[in-house]
Amino acid sequence: MAPHWQSYALDDAAGMTLFIALSEIREKLDPSLQFDFVCRAGICGSCAMLVNGRPALACRTLTANLADSFTLAPLPVFELIGDLSVNTGKWMRGMSERLQTWLHPLDAQPDLTRLEARMAPELAEQIYELDRCIECGCCVAACGTAQMHEDFVGAVALNKIARFRLDPRDGRSDEDFYDLIGDDDGVFGCMTLLGCHDVCPKQLPLQTQIAFLRRKMVALALK
């Protein structure tokens, strides 16, 4: 079926979120309507969609904060499943496998009888801050580069690289990270459009992290 807009009319209610509104639409008006929700609490990242053209979490968006009439659309960039449902999981998995966004332990065969080395609380806090990403895809959908350039890794990936780079338990060097993101698909493809930073529902410091990574990677490129 060709893409088209579909209008629904509902009565607003106190405390109504887009999750409640969409559930009501599916229950009373259109059982075929497709959208994704799991946690309803801004934790799972599955309910991101365009609300009046801007990426947002539907479960955290109150209808009271929208005008009487508003539009919802699926996130761009990701594979469309149907209606408001997109396959962010497939994209995130591909990105994760490509950039190996998991801990590569310094010691491949750690002595499990010994306690892990202590980490300074400030550093643990910095890592935790970046680990709050819920992989909702809002930053990717808001990025003009990601929309034009299919292989661009997106702010979500750059944030993950920044997170593992900080982690003293990760054995990868800056050169290893450079191999992963030191090109136009990575940090040098970012045009500092900052849509990512503006829409991240977890208010992650994406602007600072990307700028920091870029400075580090430029320094390596000039070596």
Bridge-partner residues for 62, per DSSP? 17
CB 136 within 8 A of CB 154: no
Indicate which of ligand F3S, ligand FES, ligand SF4, none lies near residue 137 (CB less than 5 to 8 Å, by partner kind). ligand SF4
Give the three-class secondary structure for 169.
coil
39: contact with ligand FES by CB under 6 A? yes
**Contacts with ligand SF4, 201-220, as mask; x by CB under 6 A:** xx-x----------------
CB of 201 to ligand FES, least distance (A): 8
Between CA 18 and CA 26, with CA 22 as vertex, the angle to 5 degrees is 170
Indicate which of ligand F3S, ligand SF4, ligand FES, none lies near residue 143 (CB less than 5 to 8 Å, by partner kind). ligand F3S
Indicate which of ligand SF4, ligand F3S, ligand FES, none lies near residue 74 (CB less than 5 to 8 Å, by partner kind). none
- Pick from 71, 36, 77, 62: nearest CA to 196: 77
43: contact with ligand FES by CB under 6 A? yes
Q: What is the CA radius of gyration of the chain?
A: 20
CB 105 within 8 A of CB 169: yes
40: contact with ligand FES by CB under 6 A? yes
Residues binding ligand F3S (CB under 6 A): 142-143, 145, 155, 190-196, 210
